[in-house]
Amino acid sequence: MIFLSLGLFLWVAAHLFKRLAPDARAALGDRGKGLVTALLVLAVGLMALGYRGAEFVPVYSPLPGMGHLNNTLMLISLFLFGVGGTKGTLYPRIRHPMLWGTVIWSLAHLAVNGDRASLLLFGGIGLWAVVEMLILNRTSWVRPVGGRGLKGDAMNLVGTLLLFGAIAMVHLWLGHPVFEGTYF
């Protein structure tokens, strides 16, 4: 749990550094981008190592059928991650789509994982996303304009389905099949 906690702390600190200490971040210039990137890579590595090595301590038992909810929420989450990049019809209408995607990702994983390490990892990242949105709303958010319309949405949908398939394969490779117990 130490690696997981440290990784989560680095994730939050690296992301909030620019928001909470803008002058210090600006003073670093382009070096700051490299530093933040390195901290985020280290954070992800520590979270993965810590999560995989954490003792399973059950906190609650997920309800039967939550795999269906998880998969549906993950599709929505991945679509929201792509909204800013593909600039479809939702681009100027949704505030912080990537952060909302992160919150939904977090809830999806909490629906199917009821152990202590999952609560720390998924709950912690979900909480960070909410805090990040609150800070952005008070400081620097500007509504985007324009977009590609339905073409952007179509590109996002295709990308979402491809990414979902890739993520499902990685989860299968790691021993966590996403469609286990799911019947079509």
Whether residue 156 has pLDDT greater than 60: yes
Q: Which residues contact 44 (CB under 8 A, 6 or more apart)?
A: 7, 11
Token output for 66: 């939550």
In DSSP notation, 29-95 reads THHHHHHHHHHHHHHHHHHHHHHHHS---BS-PPPTTHHHHHHHHHHHHHHHHHHHHH--TTTTTSS
Interatomic CA distance for residues 97 and 9, integer angstroms: 23
Whether residue 91 has pLDDT greater than 90: no
Which of 49-58, 65-74, 144-153 is predicted least confidently?
A: 144-153
Confidence bin at 101 (pLDDT 50/70/90)? very high
Confidence bin at 180 (pLDDT 50/70/90)? low
Interatomic CA distance for residues 141 and 130, integer angstroms: 14
Radius of gyration of the chain (CA): 18
Has this prediction a pTM greater than 0.75?
yes
Interatomic CA distance for residues 144 and 96, integer angstroms: 10
Q: Which residues contact 164 (CB under 8 A, 6 or more apart)?
A: 74, 75, 78
Q: Which residue has the higher pLDDT, 22 or 184?
A: 22
User: What pLDDT score does 146 carry?
Assistant: 74
